């Protein structure tokens, strides 16, 4: 039985994810972190609906829309014609900066809900732009009304809306998030090095992470309000790796258009050890945003579907802690992964 998902936001992350589903539709496993999650393979995931507000994507087959401007994600493979046509999405007064001045196509949450039902979707995956918090919550309500689960990959703090959380619990539907954490992106890399320093007895005093990238996600994030909100999420996430207070900052500093969907993260760590001798680390990481998200998103989709179908919504916390920067109950990554793997990795 396929896992039928709908995608809100046909941007760079969606582009690479759709390509990945196609790439792993056979027996190919190259680059695939977990071939089997909760009894499901990558080929069991099927996109049955897609939504966007950019008029340049609305009305296109999904196989074409994922490569339409302003997307800059790499074309890893050719996609066959798709039966899925991108439908107008939801937007409130929080249109992303990169779409200011663009022609937009809008739907109401009621219309989106009806289309989700008609498509037979099991889950709605929210991949819209950073800073669109009101729109993200509206997509969640559309999923709730359609009787399906909702996965929030954006920095919008949907799971801090107590009323929404209670409504999903009452309906016995999964509400997962917030802010997807890449497989080996800046946040988990930062967390990993902090955890290693602590385990080796180094007293960490300061750290920072400065991200520079291309693509519309980074372009949106340099907006001052969005930048500070996302910085708070990242900073809180990395701080969970250290069992005492220390100074740390993590966030995006600039947008460089010719970097495309790539991102460079610069890190600095300072601490003290034996005889109060100083230790400092300088390092940088280069990665591709869309591809870096693919494995984790695929894991989250399969685990969420399994939990929903067997009625074990109590395991939602493990999924959130494993796959997201701002889960309801933050946890150090190593422990979060161990719990997730025990439940879902086959």
In the chain, domain spans: 3-181+291-344, 186-288
pLDDT at 309: 93
| CB atoms near residue 346 (< 10 Å) | 11
pTM of the model: 0.94
pLDDT at 97: 72
pLDDT in tens, 83-104: 999 999 999 877 777 776 678 8
Most confident of 82-96, 243-257, 291-305: 291-305
Is pLDDT above 90 for 320? yes
Mean pLDDT confidence for 100-119? 91
Is pLDDT above 90 for 130? no
pLDDT at 1: 80
Distance CA 298, CA 301 (A): 5
Mean pLDDT confidence for 253-280? 95
Distance CA 139, CA 269 (A): 39
Share of the chain above pLDDT 70, in %: 99
Distance CA 83, CA 29 (A): 26
pLDDT at 224: 80
Asked whether the domain spanning 186-288 has the same topology as the one spanning 3-181+291-344, the reply is no
For 29, counting Cβ atoms within 10 Å of its Cβ (0-12 exposed, 13-18 middle, 19+ buried), the class is: exposed
Mean pLDDT confidence for 298-310? 97
Quick one: CATH architecture of 3-181+291-344? Answer: 3-Layer(aba) Sandwich (3.40)
For residues 185 and 292, the answer to whether their CB atoms sit within 8 Å is: yes
pLDDT at 132: 87
Residues 6+ apart with CB under 8 A from 162: none
Mean pLDDT confidence for 301-314? 93
pLDDT at 17: 98
For residues 302 and 235, the answer to whether their CB atoms sit within 8 Å is: no
φ, ψ (nearest 5 deg) of residue 310? -95, 0
Region for residue 275 given its phi and psi (left: phi exceeds 0; alpha: psi -120 to 50; beta: otherwise): left
**Residue 280: enclosing H or E segment and its boundaries?**
strand 278-288
Is pLDDT above 90 for 192? yes
φ, ψ (nearest 5 deg) of residue 342? -65, -30
For residues 27 and 55, the answer to whether their CB atoms sit within 8 Å is: no
Residues 6+ apart with CB under 8 A from 99: 53, 54, 129
In sequence order, which ranges of 212-288 are alpha helices (DSSP H)?
Answer: 215-221, 224-239
pLDDT in tens, 41-85: 999 999 999 999 999 999 999 999 999 999 999 999 999 999 999
Fold entry, domain 186-288: Dihydrodipicolinate Reductase; domain 2 (3.30.360)
Question: And the tokens for 283?
Answer: 């390092």
Distance CA 218, CA 227 (A): 9
pLDDT at 293: 96
Question: And the tokens for 287?
Answer: 């990665």
> What radius of gyration, in Å, describes the C-alpha atoms of the chain?
20
pLDDT at 125: 98
| CB atoms near residue 339 (< 10 Å) | 17
Average predicted confidence (pLDDT) for the chain: 94
Q: Quick one: which of 281, 345, 339, 283 has its CA closest to 314?
A: 339
Peptide bond into 70 cis (omega under 30): yes
Question: And the tokens for 331?
Answer: 């946890």
For 111, counting Cβ atoms within 10 Å of its Cβ (0-12 exposed, 13-18 middle, 19+ buried), the class is: middle
pLDDT at 308: 95
Mean pLDDT confidence for 316-325? 96
Mean pLDDT confidence for 228-253? 92
Most confident of 18-27, 93-102, 310-319: 18-27
């Amino acid at each position: 039985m396929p896992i039928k998902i709908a995608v809100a936001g046909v941007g760079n992350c969606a582009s690479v994810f759709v390509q990945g589903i196609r790439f792993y539709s056979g027996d190919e496993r190259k680059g695939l972190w977990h071939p089997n999650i909760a009894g499901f393979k990558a080929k069991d995931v099927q996109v049955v609906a897609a939504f966007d507000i950019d008029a340049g994507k609305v009305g296109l087959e999904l196989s074409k829309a994922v490569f339409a401007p302003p997307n800059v994600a790499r074309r890893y493979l050719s996609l066959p014609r798709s039966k899925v046509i991108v439908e107008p999405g939801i937007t409130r007064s929080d249109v992303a900066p990169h779409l200011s001045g663009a022609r937009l196509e809008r739907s109401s949450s009621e219309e989106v809900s009806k289309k989700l039902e008609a498509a037979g979707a099991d889950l709605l995956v929210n991949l819209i732009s950073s800073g669109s918090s009101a729109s993200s919550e509206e997509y969640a309500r559309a999923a709730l009304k359609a009787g399906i689960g909702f996965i929030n990959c954006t920095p919008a703090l949907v799971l801090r809306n107590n009323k929404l959380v209670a409504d999903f619990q009452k309906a016995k539907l999964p509400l997962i998030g917030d802010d997807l954490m890449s497989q080996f992106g800046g946040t988990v890399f930062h967390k990993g090095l902090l955890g290693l320093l602590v385990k080796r007895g180094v007293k960490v005093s300061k750290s920072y992470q400065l991200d520079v990238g291309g693509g519309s996600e980074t372009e949106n994030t340099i907006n001052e309000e969005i930048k500070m909100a996302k910085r708070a999420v990242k900073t809180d996430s990395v701080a969970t790796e250290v069992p005492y207070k220390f100074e740390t900052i993590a966030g995006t500093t600039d947008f460089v258009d010719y970097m495309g969907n790539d991102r460079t993260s610069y890190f600095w760590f300072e601490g003290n050890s034996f005889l109060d001798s100083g230790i400092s680390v300088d390092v940088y990481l280069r990665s591709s945003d869309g591809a870096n998200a693919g494995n984790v998103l695929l894991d989250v989709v399969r685990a969420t579907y399994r939990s929903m179908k067997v009625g074990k919504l109590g395991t939602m916390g493990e999924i959130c802690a494993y796959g997201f920067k701002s889960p309801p109950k933050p946890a150090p990554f190593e422990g979060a992964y161990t719990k997730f793997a025990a439940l879902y990795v086959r």
